[in-house]
Structure 1
Amino acid sequence: MELPAIFIGRRLSALTRKWLVSEQIKFIEQPLVRLTYRKPDIHFFNSIQNSEKKWVVTSSYAAHWLLRFALKIGMKKDDLVYCLSEKQERILTKCGVRVVRPKSLNAYSLAELLVEQNDGAKVIYLRGDKSLNPLPELLDQNQLDWHSVEVYKNTSIEIMMNEMFDGYLFFSESAIKSYKASGNFPPPKAPVLANGNRTAQAAWAEFPNLVLESHEEEELSFVKYAIQRITEKLNEPEPKHRIIIE
């Protein structure tokens, strides 16, 4: 059985890297986005300390930021946090607060839920510097009292990839956009493996390739799933074409 060579659009953990080496998988890990966390604006958070508020995050990065600075920004145990994915929910539950997800994991369902549960509390949307979803516009359209707080910054890492691979793994929308903005395209027959629905949506929008969405959001589980699917595609028998000459 032929083993695949894969491109991974991020820096891997030591555990995942060790597993790939043990499986004799040829791979390259290339970070495509540089992430910088912002320090909390204590003056702003002090100004809303006594206000009724709800927190909203739509990325794992924002969830990690909130977990790190929850006490410093005055988050309370009875505060309500809205998020978009199981991964974000797992991170946020460590804050010891109530976490709510919409049934459909997209900005429209999240906005609808916020409108349904609107009780006059201020909505604090923790986000990156580049908005990749329509939530701000939806909040404005529904006239919710909300405030945007930038908690991290994404900087694209521009790099031209000359080597071709049997499969391409992406963990985020921003990584896909950075990869393409540098002039890169996966070869037509190589499948693109996307971590989560939002990453898959970005891949479908940017690439004509076969896109396989994985719900295994944890890094090693996602990589194992991706290797399995890419290996299956790589070892599929070539279709036999019958040529009839009349």
Structure 2
Amino acid sequence: MKLYSLLEKKDPDSTFQPSKESRVTVLSTKKLSVNQKELLLNRGIGLVERDFISILPLSFDIPEIPPNIIFTSKNAVKAILEHPSKKQLQQKNIFCVGEKTAEFLSKNGFRVYFSANYGSELASEIIKDLREKEFLFFCGKRRLNELPKRLKDAGVKLTEIEVYDTQPVSKKIDRIFDGVLFFSPSAVKSYCSENELAESVAFCIGKTTASEAKKHTSNIIVASTPSIENVIVQVVKYFK
């Protein structure tokens, strides 16, 4: 039996409470899947969720395609799924950041050559073994600079194509949560533009998200691996 009854709420803020009254409630700055919700609710943790960012696809052209392609997010992969060059891209060596990105690529017929948890790890691998190769990087308009800068500084030939933009969806929420879950630096910026973290614990998916959160609080816990599920694991551990 589900611990909550409304899985498909249409309002911007969705609130779910366990069957027993919860003393702890967290806010997710990203809508979660049913299974992800249950990881919290089965442990007696109440959940409020709202998307604090939205993804806007951009128009783009793809030049001559080199043998090696880089993706650092599922959003970039989604942006090229309907592109006429998709079949060509599926034949290339794909380098990506994130387990979920790798899974999504494989599910959609791409050949994942190498996957890393962070952009810095991917940059190190390319510089170590593939410095002489040419790469095409599909990215967001507000992408982090570390990966492309390190590759270019090392002499790697890299072409960047912006395929989506991240827009804030800020909203004032008049309550203090025991914890706030962040999955990107953009979500931290969007949430904190209208709200204070105050006594809330900031649970962050990775180091760059945590770096943005540090501008607003010192009460931060970072996931041991950069995944939504591991952020939730940290929440459960903290409040058990």
Shorter-chain TM-score tier: 0.7 to 0.9
Change (3 A) 1:200 1:13: same
Alignment pair present for 1:31 and 2:42? no
Unaligned runs of 5+ in 2: 1-20
Change (3 A) 1:120 1:214: closer
- Which ranges of structure 1 fall in alignment gaps of 5 or more residues? 233-246
Deviation (angstroms), 1:176: 1.2
Greater fraction of residues in strand? 2
Say whether 1:173 aligns with 2:185: yes
CA–CA distance in structure 2, aligned partners of residues 124 and 164 of structure 1:
43
Q: Is residue 9–residue 170 contact of structure 1 (8 Å, CA) maintained in 2?
A: yes
> Which residue among 89, 94, 115 is the counterpart of 2:102?
89
Q: Distance in 1 between matches of 2:38 and 2:124?
A: 43
- Relative distance call for 1:185 and 1:133 in structure 2 (3 A) is farther
Cα shift readout 1:90-112 (whole Å, capped 9, x = no counterpart): 1122224133034xx33333223
Q: Which amino acid aligns with 1:231?
A: F
Q: Are the counterparts in 2 of residues 2 and 231 from structure 1 also a CA contact under 8 Å? A: no
| Contact 1:64-1:91 at 8 Å conserved across structures | no
Which residue in 1 is equivalent to 2:168?
Answer: 156
Deviation at 1:227, TM superposition (A): 4.5
Rg comparison, structure with higher value: 1
RMSD: 3.0
Tell me which amino acid in the other structure corresponds to 1:215: T
**Residues of 2 paired with 1:129 and 1:138: CA distance?**
18
Whichever residue aligns with residue 185 of structure 1, its letter is E
Find the residue that maps to 1:101 and give its secondary structure. Answer: strand
User: Aligned letter for 1:7?
Assistant: L
* Separation in 2, partners of 1:204, 1:171: 14
Match of 1:75 among 88, 92, 95: 88
SS in 2 for 1:83: strand
Measure the CA separation in 1 of the matches of 2:171 and 2:113: 38
1:138 corresponds to 2:138:
no
Q: CA separation in 1, counterparts of 2:124 and 2:224?
A: 26
Q: AA paired with 1:61?
A: N
Count matched residues: 219
Partner of 2:72: 58
Equivalent residue number for residue 231 of structure 1: 239
